Amino acid sequence: MTLNKRELARIERCLIATLTEACETAKTEIEGFCWLTHTADTNAFVQTLKVTWVFDTLANKQLAQTSTRKARVFELTATALNEANIDLRPSDHSVRFDSEEECQRSHGGDWSRRLAQSRATRH
């Protein structure tokens, strides 16, 4: 379903607000968690939406991918999506784990370039 600009802007604002809440909760609960972001193709928003959870180190990213912590990340993501009225179940396709350490090593800390490259290789 293609969204008009107004509807897309409304969804985007709502999603930013709900993901911000998830981010603040995660900072207090998940060791090494730093921030999160999302990307999507505006022509297929729900189908291409990716939420990237960023951790300080590779070790903390890997720890977050263990079953209990991963389940909490998925739960926080699901709550944010639900509150934004986005019908998408978090999965390994829509939720991505990354780290500041890996971005620094492979992209010199340039998150814009890293996220753009990630979008191009994961569609």
What are the residue boundaries of the structural domains of the chain, listed by start? 5-122
CA 76 to the chain's CA centroid: 10
Alpha-carbon distance of 4 to 75, in angstroms, equals: 29
Exposure of 24 in the CB half-sphere (CA atoms within 13 A) = 5
Question: Across the chain, what does the average pLDDT equal?
Answer: 93
Q: What is the pLDDT of residues 15-34, one digit of tens each?
A: 999 999 999 999 999 999 99
Q: Which residue has the higher pLDDT, 67 or 94?
A: 94
| pLDDT over 60 (residue 82) | yes
Interval 110-120: pLDDT, tens: 999 999 887 66
Stated pTM of the model:
0.92
The residues pairing with 97 across neighbouring beta strands, listed in sequence order, are: 53
CA dist., res. 26 & res. 73, Å (int): 8
Structure tokens of 57? 């180190």
Length of the chain: 123
